Amino acid sequence: MMKFDISAAFYLNSIINFFQISELIVCFSKSALFGTVTAAVGIYVGFSTTDGAEGVGNSTVRAFTISAALILVLDAIWGYIL
């Protein structure tokens, strides 16, 4: 902090004043939602895997693609609502 000639107390106080609890709740809620979606898609696609090692590779790509698309859609909906 001394590089910018401010005290540590001023820096920490500025951070506390900048963030609001509601913003942190939104951030943690989005993270939980996206993590749950990713895990649910991975579990669903993983349990329906067939064809051995090649099927695992295909399922991994499929799970990632579905998760990424769902996260983009959910993020757009979340942004529209808030």
- Distance between CA 51 and CA 55 in Å, rounded? 5
Q: Residue 35: exposed, middle, or buried by beta-carbon count in 10 A (0-12, 13-18, 19+)? A: exposed
**Which is more confident, 6 or 69?**
69
User: Which backbone phi and psi does 22 adopt, to 5 degrees?
Assistant: -60, -35
| Distance separating alpha carbons of residues 13 and 31, to the nearest angstrom | 26
Output the pTM of the full model.
Answer: 0.74
Which sequence spans correspond to the domains of the chain? 21-81
pLDDT greater than 70 at residue 59: yes
What is the rounded distance in angstroms from the CA atom of residue 54 to the CA atom of residue 67? Answer: 20
